[in-house]
Amino acid sequence: MTIAALTETRRRELARRMSGGLEITLFWDKSDNSTSIDLRHETVDETISFRVPPARALDAFHHPFAHLKWSPQ
């Protein structure tokens, strides 16, 4: 099994939307019960991924840029 396949089996897509050339996707990771957001910019085909607190996941999905600074490493 590849790393990409392993990652995809752990992460489950909860919601996806498009807005102004951005694809925003909310994920849940069953291995650690974490939530994260992927922001994909269509024009340049780049993706930014960051974790969000589970209690704030839906708000982060609707307002992702307000949550970018929260992401711990």
- The enclosing H or E element of 3 equals helix 3-10
| Backbone dihedral region for residue 20 (phi beyond 0: left; psi -120 to 50: alpha; all else: beta) | left
Count the domains in the chain: 1
Q: Express each pLDDT in 46-62 by its tens digit.
A: 999 999 999 999 999 99
Q: In whole angstroms, give the CA distance from residue 20 to residue 12.
A: 24
Instruction: Catalogue the E-assigned strands of 1-73.
Output: 11-19, 22-29, 34-41, 46-52
pLDDT reading at 71 higher than 60? no
Q: pLDDT above 70 covers what percent of the chain?
A: 82
| Domain extent for 12 | 3-70
Q: In whole angstroms, give the CA distance from residue 64 to residue 16.
A: 12
